[in-house]
């Protein structure tokens, strides 16, 4: 695609829908509750919220500025803005991150498809939590169905990316995201009405700082980066499709707000039910796939809600996977001169190869471990806590120290008025606070405590 005929979003609402579509996904509804559950609840949530406001919003904004200013893909953006310098390596790391994320993300996204079928065929009917847990473990440990679903999911992703930005991505997110929010609220109400649910709310909202280590802070930061889709250039790529009259600060805060609302509501949906059922919050990746079916079982018209919920969850995952694949495709199209269809096919096939290993790591490959982690766990861990975290670090360093204040705000001022105080706070966060905070957390977690 040349500069003049690059595809683009139609306006502010389209961008918000697509960027929020990228942000809201399995990260909020599947990953956030189980990571919060494993890491002590309230205190983790508090650190997570601080990370979103103080680090997340500045990074979203930085990515949008880099993207819109350069009008290029994640790697090409740095090449254009800083020709002849090695900053494009940040983009390259983003492309690696896209591979890693899609590999394990499509495994879980595939599970959501299985759960749509299960809820249609009454597969949760009259089952105890133990039976639901057994079902989950048996399903994920098998090979054929999880692999089939994963590949179907990858095909769906490729199909939308194939169709291009405006026709594909925007159309789907605009309608389905608000519907997902309504569904989550309905399930929250049911969860809160169960006897004993208060303990769950306490777990989620009452901080206990005894359990906090540098490693936990890194996990909260990694989760925030993962959930907001920052640190790998997805938002640089989307930023390059944003029109010059779209206000970037407003869009950034709206996206962060939408994403965080869904994450917190997912916590409110899961933890009260979990405590009411007497289950452990530290159940790991199976958490929502066991708790939610039980919750639907206890609801009037539960089967209907279950079907709707898993469909919307799959759609939320889809609007995220397309943004990840788009990073790879935009790179191949613009830097390697491939046609969009060819780039999409090559990207999807090569990612599926590592994807298969992730899916099999619940079954045949469960004893194959690297750093004491299965392939799935390793990809899941390094994507958020290493690739996205360091990606975010380099992006703020780039904006604060290389691009510098004036060119940064020049891009923002095209589309909105910024109060000088706000500008100073924002740039302070980008130039000093974010690099120091992310750097300190990473050093604490890796060099002082060691990788766990």
Question: Which residues contribute to the site for ligand PFF (CB under 6 A)?
Answer: 22-23, 25-28, 101, 226-227, 229, 232, 234, 320, 323-324
Quick one: 229 or 361, whose CB is closer to ligand PFF? 229
Q: How far apart are CA 346 and CA 225, in angstroms?
A: 27
d(CA 403, CA 421): 20
Task: Tell the smallest beta-carbon distance from residue 173 to ligand PFF (Å).
Answer: 13
Please state at what angle helix 88-120 crosses helix 340-360, rounded to 10 degrees: 60
Q: In the structure encoding, which two tokens stand for residue 292, read together?
A: 């939610």
The percent of the chain in helix, strand and coil, each rounded to the nearest 5, is: 80, 0, 20
DSSP character string of 390-424: HHHHHHHHIIIIII-HHHHHHHHHTT----HHHHH
Least separation in angstroms between CB 209 and ligand PFF: 26
CB of 153 to ligand PFF, least distance (A): 13
Tell me the C-alpha distance between 283 and 280, whole Å. Answer: 6
β-strand partners of 373 = 370
- Cβ–Cβ under 8 Å, residues 383 and 100: yes
Given the complex with ligand PFF, which of 39 and 323 has the nearer CB atom? 323
Q: What is the phi-psi region of residue 332: left when phi exceeds 0, alpha when psi lies from -120 to 50, beta otherwise? A: alpha
Least CB distance to ligand PFF at residue 410 (A): 26
Looking at the Cβ atoms of 229 and 415, the one nearer to ligand PFF is 229
Nearer to ligand PFF, 49 or 192 (CB): 49
Cα 212 from Cα 444, distance rounded (Å): 12
CB of 68 to ligand PFF, least distance (A): 17
Min separation Cβ 157 and ligand PFF, Å: 11
Q: CB 318: neighbour CB atoms within 10 A?
A: 23
For ligand PFF, the closer CB: 28 or 118: 28
Q: From the CB of 191, what's the least distance to ligand PFF, in Å?
A: 21
Nearer Cβ to ligand PFF (276/317): 317
| Residue with the shortest CB distance to ligand PFF | 27
302 vs 391, beta carbon nearer ligand PFF: 391
Write out 316-364 in H/E/C secondary structure: HHHHHHHHHHHHHHHHHHHHCCCCHHHHHHHHHHHHHHHHHHHHHCCCC
- Burial of residue 358 (CB within 10 Å: 0-12, 13-18, 19+) is buried
User: Least distance in Å: CB of 198 to ligand PFF?
Assistant: 28
Nearer Cβ to ligand PFF (262/307): 262
């Amino acid at each position: 695609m040349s500069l003049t005929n690059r595809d683009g979003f139609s306006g502010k609402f389209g961008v918000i829908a697509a960027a929020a579509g990228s942000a809201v996904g399995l990260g909020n509804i599947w990953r956030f509750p189980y990571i919060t559950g494993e890491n002590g609840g309230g205190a983790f949530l508090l650190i997570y919220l601080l990370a979103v406001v103080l680090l997340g919003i500045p990074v979203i904004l930085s990515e949008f500025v880099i993207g819109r200013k350069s009008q290029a893909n994640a790697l090409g953006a740095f090449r254009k803005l800083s020709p002849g310098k090695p900053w494009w390596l940040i983009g390259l790391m983003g492309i690696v991150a896209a591979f890693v994320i899609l590999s394990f993300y499509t495994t879980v996204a595939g599970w959501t498809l299985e759960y749509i079928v299960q809820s249609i065929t009454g597969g949760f009917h009259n089952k105890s939590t133990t039976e639901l847990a057994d079902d989950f473990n048996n399903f994920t440990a098998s090979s054929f169905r999880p692999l089939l679903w994963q590949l179907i999911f990858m095909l769906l992703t490729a199909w939308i990316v194939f169709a291009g930005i405006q026709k594909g991505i925007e159309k789907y997110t605009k309608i389905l995201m608000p519907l997902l929010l309504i569904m989550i609220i309905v399930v929250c109400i049911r969860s809160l009405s169960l006897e004993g649910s208060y303990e769950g709310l306490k777990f989620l909202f009452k901080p206990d700082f005894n359990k906090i280590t540098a490693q936990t802070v890194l996990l909260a930061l990694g989760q925030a980066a993962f959930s907001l889709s920052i640190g790998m250039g997805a938002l640089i790529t989307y930023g390059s499709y944003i029109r010059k009259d779209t206000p970037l600060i407003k869009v950034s805060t709206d996206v962060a707000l939408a994403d965080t609302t869904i994450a917190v509501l997912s916590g409110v949906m899961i933890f009260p039910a979990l405590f009411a059922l007497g289950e452990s919050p530290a159940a790991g990746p199976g958490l929502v796939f066991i708790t939610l079916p039980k919750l639907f079982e206890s609801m009037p018209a539960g089967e209907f809600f279950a079907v709707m919920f898993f469909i919307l969850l799959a759609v939320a995952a889809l609007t995220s996977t397309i943004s990840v694949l788009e990073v790879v495709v935009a790179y191949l199209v613009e830097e390697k001169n491939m046609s969009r269809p060819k780039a999409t096919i090559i990207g999807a096939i090569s990612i599926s190869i590592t994807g298969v290993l992730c899916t099999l790591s619940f079954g045949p490959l469960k004893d194959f471990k690297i750093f004491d982690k299965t392939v799935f766990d390793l990809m899941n861990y390094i994507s958020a806590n290493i690739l996205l975290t360091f990606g975010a670090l380099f992006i703020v360093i780039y904006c604060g120290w290389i691009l510098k204040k004036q060119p940064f705000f020049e891009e923002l001022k095209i589309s909105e008025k910024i109060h000088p105080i706000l500008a100073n706070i924002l740039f302070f966060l980008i130039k000093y606070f974010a690099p120091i905070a992310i750097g300190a957390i990473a050093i604490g977690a890796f060099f002082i405590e060691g990788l766990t």
